[in-house]
Amino acid sequence: MEDRLTGRLFSHGEYTEERRGTTLKRINWVLIVLVLIGFVIGRFIGTYFDGTFLNYGQNFGLSSPVELNLGFIILTFGLEFNITIASVIGVIIAFVVYRFIR
């Protein structure tokens, strides 16, 4: 079989692998976006039900930002994660939605 655009010859299996690879890359972006949306929705649910078991969790990361002064620019780096039960539930819901749209 010949590719119309490049004129390259390839077997049927090779073509499907190339096509499958691009499809997987798109699906992985969808999964990443859904997981981030799940974290945000979970955080919103945890904030809405303040004082319940949904807010139990752990903070980890850099509690105070790190500054890098280069003389002409100052860069500030900081990253902190707050994983709660509500955010885990949001991520689980995101995986369920991903399974349905896949």
Delimit the domains of the chain by residue range: 26-99
Reported as a single tens digit per residue, the pLDDT across 45-87 is: 888 888 888 888 898 888 888 999 999 999 999 999 889 999 9
pLDDT of the residue at 33: 92
Q: Where are the beta strands (DSSP E) in the chain?
A: 57-61, 66-69, 74-77, 80-84
Whats the size of the chain, residue-wise? 102
Which are the contacts of 98, defined by CB distance < 8 A and separation ≥ 6? 30, 31, 34
pTM: 0.61
* Core vs surface per residue 83-99: b (16+ CB within 10 A) or e: ebbbbbbbbebbeeebe
Strands 80-84 and 57-61: antiparallel
pLDDT of the residue at 69: 93
pLDDT of the residue at 2: 47
Average pLDDT over residues 17-32: 64
